[in-house]
Chains A and B, each alone.
Chain A
Amino acid sequence: MYVLSAIVSLTLLGLFLGFLLGIAGKFLKVESSPIIDELESLLPGSQCGQCGFPGCRPAAEALVEGKASASLCPPGGSALAEQIAALLGLELDLSTVKEPELLVARVSEATCTGCTRCFKVCPTDAIVGAPKQIHAVVADACIACKKCVDVCPTECLQMHPIEVTLRNWRWHKPVLPEAGNAVC
C-alpha cells in the first residue's frame, strides 16, 4: 500500500514539476545564450577577423555551436584557448595550439606618402599622423589586424615580428628528456 501511494505521489509530483518547467521554458526563454556573452568578453574584441569569422561575437557563437575549435583566436594564443576550453568544457591538446607569432605594423618612412588611409581603418587608433606627414605606428597599441597593410597604396606598412629585447625575453620551458622533441 505504502509503495503504491509513494509511486502515485512521486509521479504526480514529477508531472507537476515537469509542467512547471515546461511553462517556465516557454515564458522565461533567454534570447541568446549567456555563454556567448561570456565568451565574447574573453575574446580580444578587436573584430580583426583572423579566426575566419566576421567578428568576435560571431566567433563566440560558432564556438558555442561547436563549429570552431577552442584555439581559433590567433591573437589570444594558448592562454585564451585554455580559458575557452575551460569555459566550454572542451578537451584541449595544447601542443596543437600554435603560439601566435607576435607581429607589429611598422611604417617605412621612405615610402609613406601621408595619405591618411591607414589610420582611418586602424581599429585601435594605433597609427598617428596627418595629411602629407609621415605616419607612425604606436607599437604598444597595435593588435596586428593587418587592416592598414591592406589599404596602404605604397606598401610602406608591413608587419614585422616583435623584436625580442631584454624587457620581453623569457626563459624557455625545459625540454622533457623522454620526448626530446617536445615543444619549447
Chain B
Amino acid sequence: MLSLFKKPRIVGGVHAEPHKSATATKAIITHFPLPKKLYIPLQQHVGKPAEPLIRVGDHVLKGQLLAYSQGVISAPVHAPSSGLILDVNDYPAPHPSALPIRMIVLETDGKDEWITTQPMDDPFQSSAEIISLRVGAAGIVGLGGATFPTAVKLNMGRENHIDTLIINGAECEPYLSCDDRLMQERADQIIDGVRLMLHGMETDNAVVAIEDNKPQAFLAMHTAALPYSFIKVIQIPTRYPMGWDRQLIRYVTGKEVPAGCRSSEIGVTIHNVGTAHAVHHAIRYGRPLLGRVITVAGGAVKKPMNVEVPLGTLISELFDFCGVEIEKTARIVMGGPMMGESLPHTGLPTVKATSGILALTQDELKDTEEQPCIRCASCLSVCPAGLRPFDMANNIRINQLDAAVDLGLKDCISCGCCSYVCPSNIPLVQYFKYASGEVMARQQAQHKAEQTRRLMESRNARMERIAQQQRDEEIARLAAKAEREKLKSEQETVA
C-alpha cells in the first residue's frame, strides 16, 4: 500500500518492437577489411573541433595523433591505421544535412603499423589525474552517442565528489545490440575499464545497469564483476528510453535530477559500457580510440551484424560488407530508429558517435500521413520528461515559441516516444527539434542585437572623443598662436 505513495521509478516510455535478435546472437565481426581511404572528421565530439597537426603528404602510423584537442571541452583525433595523409579539407558530415565539415583523409597502406604505445603497468598506483589525462589524450568520448569528452566527465566527477558511477548498459534503442555483444564478449575488459574509471573519479561504487532483455550480457558482466564487491551489476526493466541518464538515475538511485542541473550535482555520473571498454584499452595498452563496434541492421541488410570498424570508414563500404540492398532501402539511419538521424546518402564516414547504421525498408517506417490531433493524450502518458507534447506542438504550429518554452520545450530530450505512439502520425519530435533550433537562433539574434548596440555605442563614443580631441587641439593651437603673436609684439615694442 505504501508503494502507492512512492514516486514512480519509471516515468513514461514505450515498449518498442526490439528487432535485436538478428544481430544480438552473432559474435562481433573483427575482420572487417581495412578501407583504402578513411575520412576522419576533426569534430567527433561535443565542444571545440580538434586542430590538425599533420600536413598533406605526411606518413602516419596507427595511433598517431592527427589533431590535438583545443580548449577544455574537446578531444583529440588519432590515425585509425597507418598510411598517407591525402587531404585536410571539407567533406560531407554524417548528419541529416550532410553539410561539409573539416576532415582528414587518410590513404591506408595496408600494413596497419602501430606507433609505439605506452601501456601503464599498474594504473592503480598512479594518481587519478594521470588516469583522466590519459583518457583525454586517447580521445575517448561518451560512446553511447552523446560524445561528451570522457576525461572532462572524470574531472567533474572528482570535483563534485561523485558517490555512484552508473554504467549504462541499457541499450534501449531497438535494433542496436553493439553494447549487448560487447558485454557478452568482453565483460572482463569492461569491468576493468569501470575499475579504472572509478579510480580516475575517486569514486567507490559502481552500478552496471543492463536491461532485462539481455540475460547473457547480464550473466557475463555479473560473473566478471564477482571479484569486485564495489561493482554491482543489476537488471533493469526493458522500456525505452531506459538508457536516458535521468530515467536511469531515477530508477537506480531513486533520485531525481532537477531540471537544468547536471547529474553530477546530485552525486551521480553515467558512462556507457563502450566507453568503459575504450578506457580499458587506453590505460592498459596505451591505445587511443581508433574504432568501435557498430550494429548494422534493418530490413534491407542481408547480413546484419555487429562489426568493429576503424573510425572514418565510409558507410558505403560498411553496407557493401554487410550486403545492404540499396534499392530496398527507404531510409538510412545513424544511431537507433528512435533518436537516430536519417542520412541522405552513404558517402559519409562513421564516427565515434556511430553506434549503429540502419538500412530500413519502407515496411519498417511509420506511416507518415499526418492527421489531426484527436486529443488522446497518448503522447502525454509516454513522455519520460513529463511534458505535454501535443500542447507544445500546437503552440509551435502557430509560432508561439515562447509558450512552448514555458511548457518545457527545453526539457524535451527528443526521445521520440510521442511520435512513436501518436495515432495521428503527427511528427511531434520534428516540431520540437525545429522549435529548439528556432529558439536558439532567436537567442543568437538577440545576442547579436545587443552586441550591435554595444559596438555602435562604443563607435559613437570614439567618434565623439576624436572630435573632442580635435576641438581641444584647435583651441590649443589658437592659444599658442595668440601667445606667439603676443610675444612677438612685446619683442617689437621692446626693440
**A-B complex is real:** yes
Chain A interfacial positions (CB closer than 8 Å to B) = 44-47, 76-79, 82, 94, 123-126, 140-141, 143, 164-166, 168-174, 176-177
Q: With A44-B449, A45-B449, A82-B399 known to touch, is A141 a contact of B434 (CB < 8 Å)? A: no
When A and B form their complex, which 8 residue pairs have the shortest distance between CB atoms, in order from nearest? Answer: A170-B437, A124-B455, A171-B433, A171-B434, A177-B370, A174-B427, A45-B453, A79-B442
> How far is it, in angstroms, between the C-alpha of A140 and the C-alpha of B434 when the chains are bound?
23
Q: Is B430 an interface residue (CB 8 A)?
A: yes
Chain A residues with CB under 8 Å of B427's CB are 174
Query: B434: which of A47, A123, A166, A170 is its contact (CB, 8 Å)?
Result: A170
> How far is it, in angstroms, between the C-alpha of A164 and the C-alpha of B90 when the chains are bound?
13
A140 to chain B, nearest CB (A): 8
User: Can you add 5 more A-B contacts, CB < 8 Å, to A124-B459, A176-B370?
Assistant: A44-B453, A45-B456, A76-B445, A125-B459, A171-B437
Q: Is B21 an interface residue (CB 8 A)?
A: no
Which of B95-103, B141-149, B216-224, B345-353 forms part of the interface with chain A?
B95-103
Please count the residue pairs between chain A and chain B whose beta carbons lie under 8 angstroms apart in the complex. 74
> How far is it, in angstroms, between the C-alpha of A123 and the C-alpha of B453 when the chains are bound?
10
> How far is it, in angstroms, between the C-alpha of A169 and the C-alpha of B437 when the chains are bound?
8
**Which residues between 365 and 397 of chain B lie within 8 Å of chain A, taking CB atoms?**
369-371, 396-397
Q: What are 22 of the A-B contact pairs (CB < 8 Å)? A: A45-B452, A47-B456, A79-B445, A79-B446, A82-B399, A94-B399, A124-B456, A124-B459, A141-B452, A164-B99, A165-B99, A166-B99, A166-B101, A168-B441, A170-B437, A171-B434, A171-B437, A174-B370, A174-B430, A176-B370, A177-B370, A177-B371
B449 — nearest CB in chain A belongs to which residue? A44
Contact between chains at B431 and A173 (CB < 8 Å): yes
Q: Is B451 an interface residue (CB 8 A)?
A: yes
Q: Is B159 an interface residue (CB 8 A)?
A: no
Q: Chain A binding site: helix, strand, loop or mixed by DSSP?
A: loop
Q: Is B210 an interface residue (CB 8 A)?
A: no
> How far is it, in angstroms, between the C-alpha of A168 and the C-alpha of B97 when the chains are bound?
11
> How far is it, in angstroms, between the C-alpha of A140 and the C-alpha of B459 when the chains are bound?
16
Q: With A166-B97, A170-B434, A176-B397 known to touch, is A46 a contact of B452 (CB < 8 Å)? A: yes
Contact between chains at A141 and B397 (CB < 8 Å): no
> How far is it, in angstroms, between the C-alpha of A173 and the C-alpha of B398 when the chains are bound?
11
Contact between chains at B456 and A46 (CB < 8 Å): yes
B450 to chain A, nearest CB (A): 9
Query: B445: which of A45, A46, A77, A125 is its contact (CB, 8 Å)?
Result: A77
Query: B95: which of A166, A170, A176 is its contact (CB, 8 Å)?
Result: A166
B301 to chain A, nearest CB (A): 27
Contact between chains at A174 and B431 (CB < 8 Å): yes
Number of interface residues of B (CB under 8 A): 32
Chain A residues with CB under 8 Å of B437's CB are 170-171
B447 to chain A, nearest CB (A): 10
B424 — nearest CB in chain A belongs to which residue? A177
Chain B residues with CB under 8 Å of A169's CB are 95, 97, 99
Chain A residues with CB under 8 Å of B431's CB are 173-174
> How far is it, in angstroms, between the C-alpha of A174 and the C-alpha of B456 when the chains are bound?
38
Instruction: Please encode chain B, from 63 to 103, with 1 for each CB lying within 8 Å of some chain A CB and 0 for all others.
Output: 00000000000000000000000000000010101010100
Q: Is B473 an interface residue (CB 8 A)?
A: no
**Which residues between 419 and 451 of chain B lie within 8 Å of chain A, taking CB atoms?**
427, 430-431, 433-434, 437-438, 440-442, 445-446, 448-449, 451
Contact between chains at B452 and A124 (CB < 8 Å): yes
Chain A residues with CB under 8 Å of B371's CB are 177
B439 to chain A, nearest CB (A): 10
Chain B residues with CB under 8 Å of A166's CB are 93, 95, 97, 99, 101
Contact between chains at A173 and B456 (CB < 8 Å): no
B462 — nearest CB in chain A belongs to which residue? A125
Contact between chains at B97 and A44 (CB < 8 Å): no
Chain B residues with CB under 8 Å of A45's CB are 449, 452-453, 456
Chain B residues with CB under 8 Å of A176's CB are 370, 397
A100 — nearest CB in chain B belongs to which residue? B445
Chain B residues with CB under 8 Å of A173's CB are 396, 431, 434, 438
Instruction: Please encode chain B, from 294 to 331, with 1 for each CB lying within 8 Å of some chain A CB and 0 for all others.
Output: 00000000000000000000000000000000000000
